[in-house]
Amino acid sequence: MKLDVRLFAQARELAGAEHVSVELPDSSTVAALREVLAAQFPQLAPLSPNLLIAIGTDYASSETVLSPDADIACFPPVSGG
């Protein structure tokens, strides 16, 4: 399945894109997505141990299973305030 991932903050800056597209086997988990992102976008390496994945408006855990229509975002730890 082809997944569209929105990037924010430093992740967006390092990748040089607001969206990236990744190809994963059906029913892959967030852990698999992290691996593919790291392999496909080595420029994210400085952040990769800390990158967070959200599906819709919720944080996803590594075990979360992805679906092709998921609204996926990837970003560094938040700092707000």
Partner 1 sequence: MIELTRDTIDYTTLTESVRSDQAGAVVLFLGTVREMTAGRQTAALDYDAYPEMALAKLAELETEARDRWPVIEVAMIHRIGHLELGEVSVAVAVSTPHRPDAFEAARHLIDRLKEIVPIWKKENFTDGTTEWVHPGTTPESGETGN
* Residue 58 phi, psi (nearest 5): -120, 150
Mark the segment that binds partner 1 (CB under 8 A) among 19-27, 34-42, 52-60, 62-70. 52-60
For partner 1, the binding residue among 2, 25, 39, 57 (CB under 8 A) is: 57
β-sheet bridge partners, residue 7: 74
Supply the DSSP symbol for 11: H
9 forms part of the interface with partner 1 (CB under 8 A): yes
18 forms part of the interface with partner 1 (CB under 8 A): no
Answer whether 76's CB lies under 8 Å from 11's CB.
yes
**Residue count of the chain:** 81
List residues near partner 1 by CB under 8 A: 6, 8-10, 12-13, 47, 50, 54, 56-59, 73, 75-81
